[in-house]
Amino acid sequence: MDHLEGLNPEQRKAAEHTTGPLLIVAGAGAGKTKTLTHRILNLIHSGIAPENILAITFTNKAAGEMKERVVKLLSEDPAREYDGAVPFVSTFHALGVYILRREHARINRPKHFSILDDDDTNRLMKKALQQCELDPKQFEPRRMKNAISREKGELHTAETYKASVGNEYFPRIVANVWSAYEKLMLEEGALDFDDLILHTTLLLRDEAEMRTIYHAKWSHIHIDEYQDTNFAQYTLSKLLAGDHKHICVVGDTDQSIYAWRGADFRNMMLFEEDFPDATVVLLEENYRSTAPILKAANDIITKNTVRKEKNLFTRKEGGEKLSVIACGDEKMEAEFVAKKISGLIRNGAEPKDVAILYRANFQSRALEEGLLDAGISYQVLGVKFFARKEVKDVLAYIRAALNPTATADFSRIVNVPARGIGKVTLAKILSGEEVTLPPATQAKIASVREILSEIADDCANLPVSHTLKNAIKRSGLEDAFKKDREEGEDHLENVYELVGLATKYDHLTPEEGIEALLSDATLASDQDSLGDAKKKKDENAVRLMTVHASKGLEFPYVFITGIEDGLFPHRGFDGPVINPERAEEERRLFYVAITRAEKKVWLTYAHTRTIFGGKNIQAPSEFLMDLSDEYIETEDPDKLPTIEVE
């Protein structure tokens, strides 16, 4: 049996390529994951050991799906016996965690270094500002964090940045705060998200021994969503390729929508300059959407001037036109969307088949009210399971047990549940004055340390799920939740859900399992929250999300709301005229939105919209002017039947 059976000619060309650099330009819905996984299968057929293959993508969700598909292909392959060996499939950040845990001494961190989430980073940034005698209200910690993050994405360290800024006022302040922030992280044995890429890249760039080790480990490299790489990730990709240059990158310049966080789609356009002997394969056949949707998408994106040329097509026949709906205001827009969804559900569609997309988060409020009034279940993407307080508390117990220098985790759990250890007592503990505390207080602290010691023993000896279950009991959290009659039951269900989730790591050694869980929890993205619905009723729900959050997803029915001048395309702080680069990114964003749909798209706009407390008169978006009557139709929102709520 042909192990590449089912691939179209271009997909097959990419899968059969086994040596040297390969660029796959993959349009939306063109089967890039299928192509990548079959290429990995073909590499293994050609004699490359699975463990010598590396595949990197951007979200845990995408990495998990790719790994599952690779395992399925390998386990069902009649030509070879499956021995359980699999390629290393991960996100960029998870790859960084893997390498830095192994090389922790080289970056002066403990093996179980903490990874700071947004809250932790803001806390340390505020403390750094105070140490520099700066007012956090004047120099907002988040703004400072973003400035430092951009520089780390350009492979700057606190030292190299400080040497480069001269005497400019704000950059000098950033340099001083950055130095203080780095010192605080070192004291806590911690790294932030950007460090995971920065330190990994610098290790490979600056130490030949490191390059030798990891080139020997991974001979064939795959980078998904290459158009979304920043400079650090782009450099890391090239370093991993090394002299053998067996690197395959996959992406689509038309779906590059993250410039605001440092992504540069030009990295993809530079690939042929970086690797002059590269093979280029174009995947243009779309397996997701109907012809009208693809015609609209092509007409939108061809207006952009900086892109890799391609033209999506489908062999599917027919398909409904896109509908354009003009509404009086955002409330009427929400009512229309709710009525239309009610009709879809009455005609057999499932709520989970429907996505409502918007350009800005504030738009969700009116849409949620419309769905609530109609009695339609929905889920807002972005409410992360791992961001829930009770879940973070359990994980903080684990991190504090593994990393005694993680003062943030110790501070979080020392009085959770309540033990009568207040801020003054905590300050004395952290400043080394614990011996001055009353004997009863010292006993409480000793009890906490004993709990952490027992958890540390479990981490070394038990499967992950058992460790978590014991930690929930030993910490006193379980008893505290049982006594809380208001939210306790919900919190208890969430931490039990965490134990259930942890069972997927039980096949690993205790140390490997706990590290994988902590890394995955910290690096979880917004899209990972799609699988977080705890209650069964939430699993079949309409999805609400920003267009940015929708990338990589697909739904039979898609509503794209707020298609108005200034909102989509979004003007941001540009004023009356959007700069050309931003204008092209907004057009790519609209292209991404349209290509999420399989069967039908509704485009809605309002004549007036309440924005920041004021009622604004809105004009239809210029994007609507780019659509041809050949594949669009208008709908009258007043002609839909009234919703009957049970």
Query: Which residues are marked as active site?
Result: 32-33, 224-225, 255, 596
In this structure, are strands 114-115 and 354-358 parallel, antiparallel, or unpaired? unpaired
CA atoms within 13 A on the CB side of 190: 26
199-218 residues labelled b (16+ CB within 10 A) or e (exposed): bbbbbbeeeeebbeebbeeb
SS3 566: strand
Nearest to 88 by CA among 35, 48, 51, 38: 51
Which residues are CB-neighbours of 449 under 8 A, at least 6 positions away? none
CA–CA separation, 572 and 590 (whole Å) = 16
Q: H or E element: which one contains 497? A: helix 488-502
CA–CA separation, 383 and 534 (whole Å) = 12
CA–CA separation, 370 and 374 (whole Å) = 6
CB 5 within 8 A of CB 262: no
Between CA 452 and CA 383, with CA 466 as vertex, the angle to 5 degrees is 85
User: How far are the Cα atoms of 2, 171, 194, 225 from residue 267, in angstroms, in the given order?
Assistant: 35, 27, 19, 11
CA of residue 198 relative to chain centroid, distance: 18
Roughly what angle, to the nearest 10 degrees, separates helices 439-461 and 389-402? Answer: 90
In this structure, are strands 614-617 and 608-611 parallel, antiparallel, or unpaired? antiparallel
CA–CA separation, 531 and 302 (whole Å) = 35
CA–CA separation, 114 and 275 (whole Å) = 37
